[in-house]
Structure 1
Amino acid sequence: MKVRIGFGLGIAGLRDEARFGELVDALEGNGLDSLWLSERVAGEALDPVIGLSFAAGRTTRLKLGTSVQVLPGRNPALVAKEWASLDRLSVGRALPAFGLGNPIAAEHQAFGVAREDRASIFDEALPLIRRLWAEDEVHHDGKWFQYDALTVHPKPMQGSIDVWLGGRAPSELRRCGRLGDGWLASFFTPADCAEGRPVIEEAAAAEDRAIDPEHFGAMVTYSHEDIPDALRERLAAIRPGLDASDLVPVGLDALRTRLTEYVDVGFSKLVLVPLAEPKSWDEELARVADAVLDLQT
């Protein structure tokens, strides 16, 4: 199993976008595997694909992923084009992960699709993206999208790109098995991940598919100080019945222990998300690297 440790910003983004270059440089310089940006149209976070494109031009090694990008409400042809372009410019470092979108109405309205239609749109869009990467003159007459001999260039470096999916609901896990190449869990404990993985694998097997055992990962938010009450309340709403510390390890020793627990249940791609923005990204990432990067294999 190849353990890799990356870094993300979550939906909060940065207080000062001018420091984004500092973060990217520190990730590359301190040996982190990847950068993951989340999508929040109505929040402070940078557009993830724009941010990853910036990072691509500033680095040579760092992999570049979304955690996650909303698919319903986007035309598959444009999504295929932007990700193939990023993959080419980064020389094969693109790692798209897609989701249905945020349930908050203020966020959902930006995508222009009815909530009840999101799953159907997603299920049609993702296979189309794969076809547009692989084929020329794509013909498609579906419920949501129609193409007549549409060709999209450039093609990805290897002819296609692995697509991971997010999600926590059983229906989302089954969709990951049917359509995805990997699962990026969020606000799931190691025990939750161990329970969710068979759901994905069974759904994949039912479609005569198999998910690469290396393609299971988790977002891991961490803190250096006590978890604020406001966050505890939000976490309780997201995952009732769990203590906040079950989802957010406090201190680097606790973070290391939690990462080991994920690895023990077969989740080898781990994305660290700091609860608070540090004064110095280089110092923060040097501390993190010293504490956990030896877990990489």
Structure 2
Amino acid sequence: MSLPYGIQLPVQSQSAIYAESWEADAGPEDLLAVARTADRAGFAYLASCDHVGIPRRLASAMSTVWYDPVATLAFLAAATERIRLLSHVAVVGLRHPLLTAKQFATLDHLSGGRLILGVGAGHVREEFEALGVDFERRGSVLDESIDALRAALGPDEFPEHHGKLYDFEGLGQRPRPAQERVPVWVGGSSPAAVRRAALKGDGWLPQGDPRDRLPAQIARIRRLREEAAIEGPFVVGAITEPLYVGKPGWDVGRRTVAGAAEELAESLRAYRAMGVHQIQVRFRCRSRSELTDQIEAFGAEVAPLL
């Protein structure tokens, strides 16, 4: 059984935690080149982040470069053929679910059914306050937002939802999503996020869990779903360590897994052994061309060994 692999796009989010120096001067043409290369190399999805605004206190660490995920993924959908489009993650509680549904349903329709809706609670207080959303209640807001989005992204042109926060019916929304059921993957690694993923999601997107924490998290998800008698497919994800295919001629950092294709594949196969269904990879690189070379090498040399 193969292990699907996706990639978080560079350029569109530039947190100091992971952005490479070349991304600061990059733009649309670089995003296009990376997306097209990943599409050809067999990657399962492209992922784009979501922040509306970053306060000054966090700007030095997070930067203020955060492209809108719907606009970014729609832009790249037109330039690619088969690769799926993942919001990793959309902070859906910042917006009314009817608005979110309208945007993402249109994206799914225009892309021919390639959307994966990744959602998360968010963590920037000022962002919530500026948009008039209660930061302290963001967990419960996300819970109802997921329920409302399930209704609004379903097959009914006139969706209905009756909840504590959102109550709507009788408003027709077209175009409908191309998919009968848009997959919803829930992001986050807190106990509440893992529980939410297990009980409300079609998949889980961990946020920085190291390998040694994943087995316990996965076991908890399985237990929660069994106790709630929830059946059906569920996709467990993992974000790998930074990778470099081949022998780097520069310092790629201690955490980076580097080496020949078989070495990388052996390392990554351990994720599948612990119950992971898809991995998100990131490559160390000093330029766009080095990144696209890494993407091509991974698809050609490492992926067949997964």
TM (norm. structure 1) is: 0.83
Contact 1:4–1:269 (8 Å) recurs in 2: yes
Aligned to 2:132: 112
Aligned to 2:239: 219
Task: Confirm or deny that 1:165 pairs with 2:191.
Answer: no
Residue 217 of structure 2: SS of its match in structure 1? Answer: helix
Partners of 1:279 and 1:58 lie apart in 2 by 17
Decide which moves more: 145-154 or 73-82: 145-154
Aligned to 1:240: none
Aligned to 2:219: 198
Which of residues 64, 68, 73 in structure 1 aligns to 2:89? 68
Shift of 1:46: 1.7
Report Cα offsets for 1:148-179 as digits up to 9, x if no partner. 42232222223221100111111110111111
Which of residues 248, 253, 264 in structure 1 aligns to 2:273? 264
| Amino acid in structure 2 at the alignment position of 1:113 | V
Residue 282 of structure 2: SS of its match in structure 1? Answer: strand
What RMSD in Å do the two structures reach over aligned CA positions?
Answer: 2.4
Partners of 1:112 and 1:221 lie apart in 2 by 37
Task: Confirm or deny that 1:129 pairs with 2:139.
Answer: no
Contact 2:91–2:120 (8 Å) recurs in 1: yes
Structure number with higher relative contact order (C-alpha < 8 Å, ≥ 6 residues apart): 1
Shift of 1:226: 4.5
Shift of 1:137: 3.3
Task: Confirm or deny that 1:251 pairs with 2:291.
Answer: no
Contact 1:204–1:211 (8 Å) recurs in 2: no
Shift of 1:109: 4.3
Residue 239 of structure 2: SS of its match in structure 1? Answer: strand
Residue 6 of structure 1: SS of its match in structure 2? Answer: strand
Aligned to 2:60: none
- Where structure 2 has 5 or more consecutive residues not aligned to the other structure, the ranges are 55-63, 245-249
Task: Confirm or deny that 1:293 pairs with 2:300.
Answer: no
Contact 1:177–1:211 (8 Å) recurs in 2: no
- Where structure 1 has 5 or more consecutive residues not aligned to the other structure, the ranges are 229-244
Task: Confirm or deny that 1:5 pairs with 2:5.
Answer: yes
Contact 2:108–2:179 (8 Å) recurs in 1: no
Q: Measured at CA, do residues 27 and 116 of structure 1 come closer, stay the same or move farther in structure 2, by a change above 3 Å?
A: same
Contact 1:249–1:258 (8 Å) recurs in 2: no
Shift of 1:104: 3.8
| Amino acid in structure 1 at the alignment position of 2:304 | D
Task: Confirm or deny that 1:87 pairs with 2:108.
Answer: yes
Shift of 1:66: 1.5
